[in-house]
Structure 1
C-alpha cells in the first residue's frame, strides 16, 4: 500500500483545489522558505485524525482554513483527501478487498469536523482504527516533521515506547484492552448495583411476608365490618321509610289549601281585568284631548319661531352688506399697488438680459483655456512615467548586483575560514601517533571465554524458569478449577431454590407444620423416582403436581393431622399401597415400565401408555377407552377425545432438575478433591523455586562481574579502533573538502568580478538619466501653475453666469405672479359690486310678511285656553279609576303571598320526601355493592338491635383495623411477584459473574500477546539500531534499554555514542548527531515494520554534506520497500529523488504545485 495522491482545497495556503500526485517511491517537495511546503505534512497529519491545533502550528482548529490574503477573501471550509493504492491488500478488515481507499476530512468555521471513508461519512475512530498496526497515524513514526527529531530523541521513556508499540502492531491490542477494561468496570458496577438490588429485594420480601399476614387479618375484620355496616344500613332504611310516609300525608293537606287560595285569586283577577278595560277607555279620551292641546302648542311655537327667524335674517343681511362694501374698497387699493409693481419688474428684466449674454461668452472662453491646461499636464505626466520606467531598470540592476557582491564576499570569507579550520584539523590528524591494543585483545578473549562458560552453566540448569512455569501452570489450573467450583456452586444453589419452590418447600408456615407433624424428613415423590433417560418430560406431564406429594406409610391417621393444616396445597402418597399395572390392550408399553421406584405406582400411572412420538400416539388414539391415555416421549398427553401439551424447558422440569442437581453434587466433590491436590503441589513447587533462585543469583552475580570487566575492555578497544578508523576516514574527507573549497573560492571570485562590471554599467546609466529628470521636474511646475490659473478663472465665470441666470428667473417669476394676482382682484371687485346691489333689494322686501304672522299668533293662543280645561277634567277621571284598581291589586298580592307560603311549605315537604327516598336508595345501593339483599338483612335483624349498637360495634371494629396499621392489600401478590424477580436477579448475577470471568480471561490473553510481541519487536529494533547506527555515523554504537521490569508498561530509553565520544546521556549530542540518531531509530523501525509511506520534513537541515550523503543513500536504499516523501533544501538529497514537486507562491499567500519528473527531464536534456 502506498500514498497515491493528496487532494487539498481551502487548507492553509492551498486555497484552490489542488491535487499532489506521488507516482514513485522517491518524491521530493522543494521550494523557498514560506511557500507552504510543510503545509503538505500538516495536511496528511490533520486528515489522519490530529486533534491538537498546536501540532498543526496553530492556536485553534479553524486556523487550518485559508484566512484570506491581500487579493483574496477567506473561505468557509477546508478539506483534505488522501487516496491510497491498496493493490497489495495490506489493509485488513472490511477494506482489505478494495484496491483504492480514500480518507477525507472537512472542517468549517464552526470547528465542526466531518470524516469520510471511501466517500461514506464516518467517525474519527474509524479512521484511526483502519491504520492500527500499519505504522500510520496522526502521531506515528511515519511522519517526521520539523522539531520532531529532537522530540523523538529527547522524549520520555513512556513516549518512546509508543513508537515501539506501533511497530509491533500492538496498538490495536491496547485499544482492545482498554475497551475490555471499560467493559469489566461496567460489569463490576452492574454487579454492585445488582447486589444492592438483591439485598434490598431480600429485605422487601421479608417485609412483604409480614404484610401478607396483616392483610389476611385485615380481610377477616373487614368482612365482619361489612356485615355490621349492612345491619346499620337496614335499620336506617326502616327509619327513613316511616319518615317518608308521614311527609306524604302533610303534602296532601297542603295541596288542598293551595287550591282554595287559587280560586279566591282568580275572582280578584276578573275585577282587576274590568278596571283595566275602563282605564283603557278613559286613557284614550285623555290622549285625544292631550293631542289637540299639544297640536295647538306646536302651531304657536312654530309661528313664534318664524317671527324670530325673520328678524334675525334681516339683521344678517344688513351685516353682510356692510362687510361686502368694506372688502370692495380694500380690493381696489391692492389693485393699484400691483399695477405699480408690474411696471417696476418689467424695467429690471430688460436690464439683466444683455449682462447675462456677456457673462456666458466669457464662461465659454475660460472652459476652453482650462481644457488646454489639463491636456498639457497629461502630456507631461506621460513623459514623466516613460522616463521613470527607463530609469528604473538600471537602478534595480545596481541593487541586485550590490546584494550579490555582498553575498559572494561573505561566502568567500566563510570558505576561507572553513579552509583554515580544515587545514588545522588535517595537521592535527597527521601528527596523531598510531597505537595498538594487543593487551586489551588478549584480556578480552580470556574474559569472553569465562563469560560463555558461566552463561552456558546457567542456561543449562535454569531451574527457576522451570519452577516458575510449573507454578504458573499450577496456578492457572487452580484458578480454572476454582472458577468451575464457583460456577457449579452458583448453579447448585439456583437449582435447589427452584426445586424447593417447585416441590412446595418454600412456604414457611407449611414447612413449620410439616416439621411439627414429623413429615419434614419424608421423601417427596419426585425424589424417589428413577426414570429412563429421555422420558422425564413424559412422566412429569402425567404426574404433574403429584411429584410434590409426600411419601408416607399409610393414610389412615391423616384425618386428625390435617385439621390444623395452614393455607397451602399438600398431597400424600401411600408407599404401602399394593397395586400392579394390568396388561394393556394396545401394542404399546405402559408408562410405568419407564419408571423405577421402591414402591408401587400403579394407582398413579394406571392405564397410561408410552409412545415414541405424536404420530404413533395419534395412530392408537381411536382405540383408547375413557380410562386410558397415551403420553409421548416429549410430554404430549392425549386420551379419547382430548389432548394436552405441556411445553416446558429442562430448567423448569422437576425431574430433569433433580438429575442436574445430582450431577452437580458429583462435580463439586470431584472439583474440591482436585483443588486440594493442586494446592499441595503448589506448596512443594514454591519451596523448590526458593532454592533455585538462590542458586541462580550467585551464578548471575559472577556473570555480571565478568560482563562488567568485559564491557570496559570492549569500550577501550572499540575506542582505539574507532579513533584509528575515524582518523583515516576524516583525512580523506578533509582532502576532498579542501579541494572543493578551492574550486568554490575561485568560482565566487570570478562571479564577483562580473557582478562589479554590471554594477558599474548600471551606475553610469543612472548618472545619464539625472539631467533629463531635472528638466522634467522644472517643466512640471510651469504646467501646474498654468492649470491652477485657468481653473480659478473658469470657476469665477461659472459662478457669475449662474448668479445672473438665477436673478433673471426670479424677476420673471415675480412678474408672472403679480399679473395673475391683478386678474383675480379685478374679478373680485366686480363680484362684490353685484352682491351689494342684491343685499339692498332683499332688506327692502323683508318688512311685509312680519305683520301677518303676528295676527295668526293671537288667534291660536285663545284656542289653547279652551282645550286646556278639557284636559284637566279627563285626568281626574283616569286618576279615580286607577285608585280603585290599585286596591284590587293589593288584595290579589296578599292572596298570592299566602299561596306562595303554602307552595314553599309543600316544596320543603316534597324535598324531605325526595331526600328520604334518595337516602333509602343509597342505602339499598350500599347493601347491593356489599353483596347484601335488603329483605334478607331485614329478615335476620334481631328485634332488639338498634342503630346505636351497630355504630358502637363499627367503631370497635374500626379501632381494631386501625391498630393493624397501614395494610398493603396487594402484599400477597407482591410477595409472589418479588419472589419471582429475586430468582431472575440471581440468574442475572450468575450471568454477570460468568461474563466478568470471561473478560478477565481476555485481558490475560491480551497481556500475554502484548508482552510477547513487544519483547520480540524491541529485540529486533534494538538489533537493527545497533547495526544501522555505525553505518550512518561511520562507527560508534547505540542501543535501546527498557526502564522497567513489566513489559506491559516499561519505558524505553535510547543511548547513542558517536565515534570517539563517551557521553553519559543522549542530551549531550549535537543537533546533527541527534538527527542522525533519530534517523537510525526510525529506519530501524521501518526495517522491521515498514509503514506504507514515510514523510520527512527537512530532517537533513542540521547535517553536513557527508552525513547528508549517507542519509540520502539510506533513503534510496529503503525506497525499494517504503514510499518516501521528503521536504528538503539540500541539493544532495534532491539528487536521489525520482520526482520533484515544487511549491511556489507567485500570488501572495497562495501555494501552487509544479511537478518535474527527474528521469524524463534527464532524457529530454540528453536529446
Structure 2
C-alpha cells in the first residue's frame, strides 16, 4: 500500500482545489521558506485524526481553514483527502477488497468535523482503527516533522515505548485489551447489582413467610368482626328510621309558614311600587325648577365674565401704547449714530484701495522669479537621473557576473562530489548477488487461501448485529414504558391528593379520630356510587358535600360518639335508612334513576328531576312545588324561584376523579408487568451478545494473525523483486549520469572564464562614472539655494497682498450692513407712529359697552332669588316621599329574611331526612356487601344489645387485628413467585461468573501475546539500530535498553556513542548527532515494519554535507520497500528524488504546486 495523491481545498494556504500526485517512492517537496511546504505534512496529520490544534501549528481547529489574504476573502470550510493504492491488500478487514481507499476530512467555521471513508461518512475512531498496526497515524513514526527528531531522541522511556508498540503491531491488541477490561468492569458491576437483588430477594422471602402465618389469623378475626359490625349496623338503622319520621312532620309545618310569609311579602311589594310612581312625578317637578335655576346662573356668569374681559382689554391696550412710544424714541437715537458711522467707513475705504494695488503687483513679480528657480532645479534632476541610469548598468552587470561565478564554482564542486558517490554506488551494485523467492511465493499462496476461508466464515455470522439490534429495540421499548409509568404515577399521586382533600381526608386530627372510632375503613358516599356516563356533574351538584359523608349502618348512637369530635367538617349517611316514596309530578325522569348504589339514595335525591338541557328544565320550572327541583346534565340545579350553577372541570369533580383514579391503577399494573417482562428479556439478550462477541473476537484474532503473516511474506517477496529491478535500472541510470556529469563540468569551467572577463569590463566603466557624479552633486547645492530664496520672497509678498484684501472686504461689508440697518430703522419709526394712533382709538371704543352690561346683571340677580325659593319647596316634597318608601322597603326586607330563614330551616330538615335515608341505605348496602340481610340480623338481635356494646366489641377486635400489623393476604402466592425468581437470578449469577472467567482468560492471552510481540520487535529494532548506527556515523555503537522488567509497561531508553566519544547520556550529543541517531532508530523501525509511506520534514537541516550524503543514500536504499516524501532545502537530498514537487507562492498567501520528473528532465537536457 502506498500514498497515491493528496487533494486539498481551503486548507491553510492551499485555498484552490489542489491535487498533489506521488508517482514514485522518492518524492521531494521543495520551495522557499513560508511558501506552505509544511502545510502538506499538516494536511496528512490532520486528515488521519489529529485533534490538537497545537500540533497543527494553530490555536483553534478552525485555524486550518484559509483565513484570507490581501487579494482573497476567507473561505467557509477546509477539506483534505488522501487516496491510497491498495493493490497489495495490506489493509485488513472490510476494506481489504478495495484496490484504492480514500480518507477525507472536512471542517467548517463552527469547528464541525466530518470524516469520510471511500465517500461514506464515518467516525474518527473508524479512521484510526483502519490503520492500527500499519505504522500510520496522526502521531506515529511514519510522519517525522521539524523538531520531532529531537523530541523522539529526547523522549521519556514511556513515550519511546509507543513507537516500538506501533512497529510491533500491538496497538490493536491494546485496544482489544481496553475493550475487554471495559467488559470485565461492566460484568463485575452487573454481578454486584445482581448480588444486591439476590440479597434483597432473600430478605423478602423471609418476610413473606412470616406474613403468610399472620394472614390466617387475620381471616379468623375478620370474620368475627364482620358479624359484630352487622349487628351494629342493624341497631343504627333502627335509630335512623325513627329520626326520619320526626323530620317529615317538621317539614310539613315549615312549608305552611313559608306560604304565609310569601303573601305578606307580595302586599308590601304593591305599596313600594305606588311610592315609586309618586317619587317619579316629584322628581320631574324638581328637575324643571332646577333647570330654570341653573339657566339664570349661567346667564349671570356670562355677563360677569364679559365685564371682566372688557376691563382687562382696556388695561392691555394702555400698556401696549406706553411700550410703543418708548420704542419710537429709541429708534430715532440709533438712526443718528449709524449716520456718523457711515461717514467714517467711506474715508477708510478710499485709503486702503491704492495700497492693495501696489502689493498685488509685487506678488506677481515674486511668482515669476519662483517659477524660474523651480525650472532650473527640474533640469538638474533630469540630468542626475540620466546619469544614474547610465551608471547603474555596469554595476548590475558586475553583481550578476560575481553571483554567476560563485554559482558555477559551487556547481562544479557538487558535480565532482556527486560523480565520486555515483562511482562508489556503481561499484556496490556490481557486487550485489542475485536472490530467489520461490519459497516465499509458495507460502504466500497458502496464507492467502487460509485468510480467505477465515474471512468467509467470519462474514457469514451476524449474531452480534442481530443481538445488538434486539437490545436496542428492547431498550427503546423499555424507556418508553418507564416514561409512561412515571407519568401515570405522578398523575395518580396528584389525583389521590385532590380526592383526599375533596373527601375531607386531609385533616390529620379528624383522620385520627375516625380511626379511633372505627370509621376509617368505612366507605365515603362518593366511593359507593355508580353514575350513568355524562351525569356525574349533575349528581355532584345535587349531593354536594354529602359525597364526603361516611356510610354507616344506623345513626342511633352517633350523638355519644360525636362528643369528642375535633375541629373539622364531617357527615354520615345511614345505609339502612328506609326509602321514601318519590313523587312523579313532571314528565321528567328522577335523578335517582341515573345513579346506581348498593343502598337506597331516594332520601337524598327525593323530588329532584333530571333534564338534558337548561332550556328543558326552564320549561318545567313553573310546575315545581317548593320541595321539588330539576338538575341538568351540565350541573345546573334550579327550583321554584332559585337556581344554582356549578361549573367545574373533570379533575375538580369528585365522581369523575374517582373514575380516573381507577383507570390509572389498572394502567400502572399493566405497565409494571410489561416492564418486568422486558427487563428479563434484556438480561437474556445481553448474555447472548457477550457470547457472540467473544466468538467473533476469536475469529477476528485468527484473521489478524494470518493477515500479519501474509503481510510479512508479501513484504519480503516485494523487497526481493524490487531490489533486483531497482539494481538493474540503477546501473543504467548511473552510467548516463556519470557521462552527463563530465560534460557538465567542462561546460561550467568555460563559462567561469567568460564571466570573469565581463566582470573586469564592468568594473572599469564604474571607475569612469564616479568623476561625473561629483560634478553634478556640486551643481545641485547652487540650484537648491536659489530656489529657497525665491520661495521665501514669494511667500512674504503673497501674505501682504492677502492682508490688504481682507481689510478692504471687511470695511466694505461694514458699510453695506450699516446702510441696510438705517433703512430698516426708518421703516420702524413710521410703523411705531401708526401703532400709537391705532391704540388710542381702541381704548376709547372699549369703554362704551360696560354700562349696558352692568344693568342686565342687576335684573338677573333679582330673578334668581325667586327661583331659589321654589327649588327648596320641591326638594322637601321629594325627601318626604323617599322616607316613606325606605320604611316600606325595610318591612319588605324583614319579611324576605324571615322567608329565607324558614326556607333554610326547611332545606336543613330535608337534608337531614335525605341524610338519614342515605345512611339507612348505606347501612343496608354494608350488610348486603358483607352477605347479611337486614331483617335476618334484626330478628337475631338480643333485646339487651346496644350500639356501645357492639362498638366496644369492634374496637377490641380492631385492636387485635391491628396488633397483627400489616397483613398481606396474597403472601402465599407472592412467596411462590419470588422463590421462582430467585432461582432464575441464581442461574443468571452463575452465567455472569462464567463470562467473567472467560474475559479474564482473554486478558491473560492478550497480555501474553503482547509480551511476546513486544520482546521480538524490541530485539529486532535493537539489532537494526546496532547495524545502522555505525553506517550513518562511520563507526561507534548504539542500542536500546528497557527501563523495567514487566514487558507490558516497561519504558525504552536509547543509548548512543558516536565514534571517538564516551558520552554518558544522550542529551550530551550535538544537534546533528541527535538527528542522525533518531534517523537510525526510525529507519530501524521501518526495516522491521515498513509503514506504507514516510514523510520527512527538513530532517536533514542540522546535518553537514557528509552526513546529508549518508542520510540521502539511506533514504534511496530504503525506498525499495517504503514510499518517502521528504521536504528539504538541501540540494544533495534533492538529487536522490525521482520527482520534485515545487511549492510556490506567486500570489501572496496562496500556495500552488509545480511538479518536475527528474528522469524526464534529464532526458530532455541530454537531447
Same fold (TM over 0.5): yes
Q: How many matched pairs?
A: 1167
Give the corresponding residue for 2:598: 598
Shift of 1:1163: 1.8
Give the corresponding residue for 1:618: 618
Q: TM-score, normalised on structure 2?
A: 0.58
Shift of 1:278: 6.3
1:801-839 per-position Cα deviation (integer Å, ceiling 9, x unaligned): 777777777777767766776666666656655565555
Q: Does the 8 Å CA contact 1:2/1:1093 hold for their aligned counterparts?
A: yes
Rounded Cα–Cα distance in structure 2 between residues aligned with 1:866 and 1:1060: 146
Shift of 1:994: 4.0
In terms of mean alpha carbon deviation, does 867-876 or 711-720 score higher?
A: 711-720
1:272-299 per-position Cα deviation (integer Å, ceiling 9, x unaligned): 6666766776776677677767767776
Give the corresponding residue for 1:865: 865
Rounded Cα–Cα distance in structure 2 between residues aligned with 1:905 and 1:602: 20
CA RMSD of aligned residues (A): 21.7
Rounded Cα–Cα distance in structure 2 between residues aligned with 1:643 and 1:899: 17
**Relative to structure 1, is the Cα distance of residues 199 and 25 closer, same or farther in structure 2, using a 3 angstrom cutoff?**
same
Shift of 1:181: 3.3
1:597-627 per-position Cα deviation (integer Å, ceiling 9, x unaligned): 9999999999999999999999999999999
Q: Does the 8 Å CA contact 1:300/1:861 hold for their aligned counterparts?
A: yes
Shift of 1:6: 3.5
In terms of mean alpha carbon deviation, does 1054-1063 or 888-897 score higher?
A: 1054-1063
**Relative to structure 1, is the Cα distance of residues 514 and 433 closer, same or farther in structure 2, using a 3 angstrom cutoff?**
same
**Relative to structure 1, is the Cα distance of residues 914 and 1143 closer, same or farther in structure 2, using a 3 angstrom cutoff?**
same
The alignment partner of 1:105 has SS state of: strand
Rounded Cα–Cα distance in structure 2 between residues aligned with 1:709 and 1:92: 12
Q: Does the 8 Å CA contact 2:257/2:902 hold for their aligned counterparts?
A: yes
Give the corresponding residue for 1:55: 55
**Relative to structure 1, is the Cα distance of residues 124 and 537 closer, same or farther in structure 2, using a 3 angstrom cutoff?**
farther
Q: Does the 8 Å CA contact 1:494/1:987 hold for their aligned counterparts?
A: no
Shift of 1:249: 3.6
Shift of 1:928: 8.2
Shift of 1:354: 7.8
In terms of mean alpha carbon deviation, does 512-521 or 885-894 score higher?
A: 512-521
**Relative to structure 1, is the Cα distance of residues 935 and 781 closer, same or farther in structure 2, using a 3 angstrom cutoff?**
farther
Rounded Cα–Cα distance in structure 2 between residues aligned with 1:815 and 1:186: 108
The alignment partner of 1:604 has SS state of: coil
Shift of 1:864: 6.9
Rounded Cα–Cα distance in structure 1 between residues aligned with 2:533 and 2:299: 135
1:995-1017 per-position Cα deviation (integer Å, ceiling 9, x unaligned): 33443454455456556666766
Q: Does the 8 Å CA contact 2:342/2:819 hold for their aligned counterparts?
A: yes
Shift of 1:39: 5.8
Shift of 1:231: 5.7
Rounded Cα–Cα distance in structure 2 between residues aligned with 1:261 and 1:588: 30
Q: Does the 8 Å CA contact 1:494/1:986 hold for their aligned counterparts?
A: no
Q: Does the 8 Å CA contact 2:145/2:1099 hold for their aligned counterparts?
A: yes
**Relative to structure 1, is the Cα distance of residues 832 and 1103 closer, same or farther in structure 2, using a 3 angstrom cutoff?**
closer
Rounded Cα–Cα distance in structure 2 between residues aligned with 1:875 and 1:591: 58
1:1010-1042 per-position Cα deviation (integer Å, ceiling 9, x unaligned): 566667666766777787788778899988888
The alignment partner of 2:379 has SS state of: helix
The alignment partner of 2:342 has SS state of: helix
**Relative to structure 1, is the Cα distance of residues 140 and 689 closer, same or farther in structure 2, using a 3 angstrom cutoff?**
closer
Q: Does the 8 Å CA contact 2:241/2:578 hold for their aligned counterparts?
A: no
Shift of 1:182: 3.0
Rounded Cα–Cα distance in structure 1 between residues aligned with 2:537 and 2:300: 128
Bigger CA radius of gyration: 1
Q: Does the 8 Å CA contact 1:591/1:610 hold for their aligned counterparts?
A: yes
**Relative to structure 1, is the Cα distance of residues 897 and 496 closer, same or farther in structure 2, using a 3 angstrom cutoff?**
closer
Give the corresponding residue for 1:315: 315
Q: Does the 8 Å CA contact 1:11/1:79 hold for their aligned counterparts?
A: yes
Shift of 1:761: 7.4
**Relative to structure 1, is the Cα distance of residues 991 and 607 closer, same or farther in structure 2, using a 3 angstrom cutoff?**
farther
In terms of mean alpha carbon deviation, does 912-921 or 725-734 score higher?
A: 725-734
**Relative to structure 1, is the Cα distance of residues 755 and 444 closer, same or farther in structure 2, using a 3 angstrom cutoff?**
same
1:182-221 per-position Cα deviation (integer Å, ceiling 9, x unaligned): 3233323332332333223333333344445556655666
Residues 723-802 of structure 1: pairs in structure 2 closer than 5 A: 771-775=771-775, 777-778=777-778
Shift of 1:22: 2.5
The alignment partner of 1:534 has SS state of: coil
1:11-60 per-position Cα deviation (integer Å, ceiling 9, x unaligned): 67767765443222233445677876666555545544456677777888
Q: Does the 8 Å CA contact 2:15/2:66 hold for their aligned counterparts?
A: yes
**Relative to structure 1, is the Cα distance of residues 949 and 172 closer, same or farther in structure 2, using a 3 angstrom cutoff?**
same
1:1041-1079 per-position Cα deviation (integer Å, ceiling 9, x unaligned): 888887766777888899999999999999888877776
The alignment partner of 2:235 has SS state of: helix
Q: Does the 8 Å CA contact 1:719/1:1059 hold for their aligned counterparts?
A: no
In terms of mean alpha carbon deviation, does 566-575 or 120-129 score higher?
A: 566-575
Rounded Cα–Cα distance in structure 2 between residues aligned with 1:1051 and 1:1001: 26
Shift of 1:1159: 2.0
**Relative to structure 1, is the Cα distance of residues 783 and 859 closer, same or farther in structure 2, using a 3 angstrom cutoff?**
same
In terms of mean alpha carbon deviation, does 641-650 or 821-830 score higher?
A: 641-650
1:1077-1128 per-position Cα deviation (integer Å, ceiling 9, x unaligned): 7766665655554433344556667888777666655554543443333456
Q: Does the 8 Å CA contact 1:1055/1:1066 hold for their aligned counterparts?
A: yes
Rounded Cα–Cα distance in structure 2 between residues aligned with 1:999 and 1:785: 101
Shift of 1:1139: 2.7
Rounded Cα–Cα distance in structure 2 between residues aligned with 1:63 and 1:989: 54
Rounded Cα–Cα distance in structure 2 between residues aligned with 1:251 and 1:596: 27
The alignment partner of 2:81 has SS state of: strand
Rounded Cα–Cα distance in structure 2 between residues aligned with 1:289 and 1:127: 106
The alignment partner of 2:603 has SS state of: helix
Q: Does the 8 Å CA contact 1:723/1:1060 hold for their aligned counterparts?
A: no
The alignment partner of 2:116 has SS state of: strand
Q: Does the 8 Å CA contact 1:84/1:102 hold for their aligned counterparts?
A: yes
1:480-519 per-position Cα deviation (integer Å, ceiling 9, x unaligned): 9999999999999999999999999999999999999999
Shift of 1:316: 5.8
Shift of 1:122: 3.5
Q: TM-score, normalised on structure 1?
A: 0.58
Q: Does the 8 Å CA contact 1:346/1:815 hold for their aligned counterparts?
A: yes
1:95-128 per-position Cα deviation (integer Å, ceiling 9, x unaligned): 2233332334566788776544334443333233
In terms of mean alpha carbon deviation, does 544-553 or 1075-1084 score higher?
A: 544-553
Rounded Cα–Cα distance in structure 1 between residues aligned with 2:922 and 2:848: 100
Rounded Cα–Cα distance in structure 2 between residues aligned with 1:956 and 1:322: 118
Shift of 1:81: 3.9
In terms of mean alpha carbon deviation, does 634-643 or 184-193 score higher?
A: 634-643
**Relative to structure 1, is the Cα distance of residues 827 and 728 closer, same or farther in structure 2, using a 3 angstrom cutoff?**
closer
**Relative to structure 1, is the Cα distance of residues 574 and 681 closer, same or farther in structure 2, using a 3 angstrom cutoff?**
same
**Relative to structure 1, is the Cα distance of residues 613 and 91 closer, same or farther in structure 2, using a 3 angstrom cutoff?**
farther
Residues 508-527 of structure 1: pairs in structure 2 closer than 5 A: none
Structure 1: segments with no counterpart, 5+ residues: none
1:556-575 per-position Cα deviation (integer Å, ceiling 9, x unaligned): 99999999999999999999
In terms of mean alpha carbon deviation, does 1143-1152 or 487-496 score higher?
A: 487-496
**Relative to structure 1, is the Cα distance of residues 764 and 293 closer, same or farther in structure 2, using a 3 angstrom cutoff?**
closer
**Relative to structure 1, is the Cα distance of residues 691 and 103 closer, same or farther in structure 2, using a 3 angstrom cutoff?**
closer
Structure 2: segments with no counterpart, 5+ residues: none
**Relative to structure 1, is the Cα distance of residues 454 and 18 closer, same or farther in structure 2, using a 3 angstrom cutoff?**
closer
